[in-house]
Amino acid sequence: MDRDGVLAARLATQRLSGPPASGPAPAVAELLCVQAQDAPLARAMIALRCGSTDAGVRAAVARGELVRTHVLRPTWHYLAAEDLRWLLALTSPKVESGMASRHRQLSLTAARVDAGLSVVADALAGRRFAPRPALGTALAGAGVLDRDDPLFGQQVGHILLLGELRALICSAPVESTEHHYALVEEVVPASRPREHREALAELVRRFVTGHGPVAPSDLVRWARVTLGEVRTALRDLDGHLAPLVVDGQELWHAPDALLPASRAQRAWLVSTFDEVFLSYRKVPWPRSAGHPAGEDPYRFAEAGGGVVLCDLEDVGAWKRTRRGGRVRIELELDTTLSSSALGAIDDAAATLATVIA
């Protein structure tokens, strides 16, 4: 397999050029997690993979099939509800320890965090789903936090983040576009605990199967695991996953899980945070010669838009805007693109506009 073969395989594996998944929950489960700090765009990317819409993905959340929470890294993700507990148990300790200095800056002592999480648990008990502002009010009312503290908003956010990492709270099963919290024990069915090595092997298997071909170092960035742990899991998975070398880089994939490129499509508009773009540091998407950004790196803190992929190249950027209550897609493209490529990109933009919120 050469570079183009790797890029094409990723598009098919991730259900963008391959056959669509059977629904939002299966689409997410195949990827294990879908980065989702920009929730509307994350839902649009899920919808593209299964022929659904923003409303369809929100309905899967309302049914309790999908959960949006902080997992893998200090970042929002969508994941299947049945994967929540074991994945948090595997990755949260390292995520939380990595934020210790930030929590000291926020004056979030262990005692203060415990008191705050107790208030949050009491506020949500009995399926009284609530958004972040209401929980902030509860924390201030209980005297855990001071609303006049200039760090108040960040303190609220980090207490809720810790509650998610510790499997106390997650997104509520509601269709509201405003994020609501719920107690995990009230909305996510119990699941079998997994021993560390078993959970690690499951993480590696699912990541490689859903994202491959992919480098071991890509998984180290994606989740709070070490390269040594990844190597151990790859040995445990011998016979299920296979290596290949492309452009001098070691990549892994699941040969038995490769999907055909069954959609007659040349172009895709994907979120800056989408799994098919942000996941790969080894053998990444090449930029076209006339890319409007030149060699400038992407600013991954940006939201509301993303990358235009056409003919296996990054050829520009797009941005979501609203005019007259309607979603519009603004494009900034390589000016040397052919008319047929521009037509394919226009088609992709039109498709995205039908599923985006």
pLDDT tens string 293-314? 888 877 655 668 999 999 999 9
SS3 173: coil
pLDDT over 70, % of the chain: 99
Q: Which of 6, 11, 4 is nearest to 307 (CA)?
A: 11
Which pLDDT score is estimated for 299? Answer: 67
Rounded to 5 degrees, what are φ and ψ at 4? Answer: -60, -35
Q: What gap in Å lies between CA 113 and CA 103, rounded to an integer? A: 10
How is residue 3 written in tokens? 């570079």
Show the domains of the chain with their CATH numbers.
20-187 (no CATH), 196-257 (1.10.10.10), 267-355 (no CATH)
The answer to whether residues 203 and 154 touch, using CB atoms and an 8 Å cutoff, is no
Q: Is the dihedral of CA 180, 184, 185, 191 positive or negative?
A: positive
pLDDT for 157: 97
Among 98, 110, 43, smallest CA distance to 72 is for 98
For position 325, what pLDDT does the model report? 75
pLDDT tens by residue, 58-69 = 999 999 999 999
Mean pLDDT throughout 58-86? Answer: 97
Amino acid at 49: R
pTM of this structure: 0.94
Instruction: Provide the mean pLDDT of the chain.
Output: 94
Residue 236 neighbours by CB under 8 Å, 6+ apart: 197, 201
CA dihedral angle for residue 58, residue 60, residue 65, residue 70, rounded to 10 degrees: -20
